[in-house]
């Protein structure tokens, strides 16, 4: 059986946030209203860094997103249907081959709301601004934030070797990049509390500059003039990525 058919009919978990019935969720995989997620944050944090899903397959389900690579080898950002790997060295690689990922979040991005912001905001102010902008706390939201940033503090983890350390320990040796006066795009997601068993109830942002040669997971920022696009997403499709250990994992860890 092909990988795509296995994912659709094999060991998968579908979470519908009280909005769309089961069959509608399956059908919505081809539209712009589904977050397609490989594994969970908790599962990744529990020393599960082995990639079980290819980037080439991932692009079938989304043109915008974020994640990481096999062995926690850097940060992943997908923008305009192109996947980039931001390594701990700071090097940015356009991924053309079937690289493997242990965790990813992607969607077919279609903005439901577009806002031009002509003022500076730090990370906390940006979160508060987005909180006041979105219509409900019961949906998933995907974001593109494009424009000028006075400052971006970003990170990328070093590739891990087995036996793996847990995520907290692995990130102690992460690389930190301080980017000043940079133009680029933030791709991110916000998940509601109802999905907290599979993802953080918080904002998760990755950045790549306009030259596509720097970026990472956003730790802090100060924005300049930016254009914010928001995609409202009612459905989550969560795949175990053919991982037998995942079926035994307690999602409430």
- Token digits of residue 135: 């219509």
Q: Is residue 193 part of a domain?
A: yes
The verdict on 215 and 243 lying in the same domain is no
Q: Say which range, 139-143, 226-230, 249-253, has the weakest mean pLDDT.
A: 249-253
What is the average per-residue pLDDT within 93-113?
95
- How many structural domains are present in the chain? 2
Instruction: State the pTM of this model.
Output: 0.84
Per-residue model confidence (pLDDT) at position 194: 86
Per-residue model confidence (pLDDT) at position 42: 84
Q: Is residue 136 part of a domain?
A: yes
What is the average per-residue pLDDT within 168-175?
94
Q: Which residue has the higher pLDDT, 249 or 117?
A: 117
Residue listed under structure tokens 């279609």: 110
Q: Half-sphere exposure (CA, 13 Å, Cβ side) for 232?
A: 12
Q: Is residue 252 part of a domain?
A: no
Q: Which residue has the higher pLDDT, 11 or 169?
A: 169
Q: How many CB atoms lie within 10 A of CB 23?
A: 8
Phi (first) and psi of residue 229, to 5 degrees: -115, 135
The verdict on 102 and 158 lying in the same domain is no
What is the average per-residue pLDDT within 133-146?
96
The verdict on 186 and 160 lying in the same domain is yes
Q: What is the pLDDT of the chain when averaged over all its residues?
A: 86
C-alpha distance from residue 83 to each of 41, 54, 86, 177 (Å): 20, 11, 10, 20
Q: Which residue has the higher pLDDT, 47 or 248?
A: 47
Cross-strand bridge partners of residue 121: 223
User: In this structure, what CATH number is given to the domain that contains residue 169?
Assistant: 3.30.1330.80
The boundaries of the domain holding residue 145 are 113-232
Cis peptide bond N-terminal to 36, omega within 30? no
Tens digits of per-residue pLDDT, 177-187? 999 999 999 99
Helices (DSSP H) in the chain: which residue ranges? Answer: 3-9, 22-27, 41-45, 55-58, 123-133, 167-170, 244-247
The verdict on 102 and 179 lying in the same domain is no
CA angle 70, 219, 207 (to 5 degrees): 65
């Amino acid at each position: 059986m092909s990988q795509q058919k296995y994912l659709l009919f094999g060991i998968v978990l579908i979470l519908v946030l009280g909005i769309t019935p089961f069959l509608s969720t399956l059908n919505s995989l081809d539209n712009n209203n589904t977050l397609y997620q490989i594994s969970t944050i908790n599962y990744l944090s529990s020393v599960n860094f082995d990639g079980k899903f290819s980037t080439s397959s991932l692009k079938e389900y989304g043109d915008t997103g974020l994640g990481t690579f096999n062995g926690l080898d850097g940060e992943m950002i997908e923008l305009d249907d192109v996947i980039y790997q931001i390594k701990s060295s700071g090097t940015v690689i356009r991924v053309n081959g079937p690289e493997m990922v242990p965790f990813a979040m992607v969607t077919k991005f279609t903005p439901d709301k577009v806002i031009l912001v002509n003022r500076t905001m730090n990370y906390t102010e940006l979160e508060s601004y987005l909180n006041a902008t979105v219509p409900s706390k019961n949906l998933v939201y995907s974001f593109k934030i494009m424009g000028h940033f006075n400052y971006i503090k970003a990170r990328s983890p070093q590739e891990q070797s087995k036996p793996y350390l847990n995520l907290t320990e692995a990130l102690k040796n992460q690389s930190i990049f301080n980017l000043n006066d940079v133009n680029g795009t933030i791709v991110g997601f916000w998940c509601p509390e109802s999905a907290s068993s599979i993802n953080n109830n918080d904002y998760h942002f990755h950045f790549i500059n306009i030259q596509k040669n720097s970026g990472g997971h956003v730790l802090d920022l100060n924005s300049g003039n930016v254009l914010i696009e928001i995609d409202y997403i009612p459905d989550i499709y969560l795949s175990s990525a053919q991982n037998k250990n995942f079926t035994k994992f307690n999602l409430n860890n």
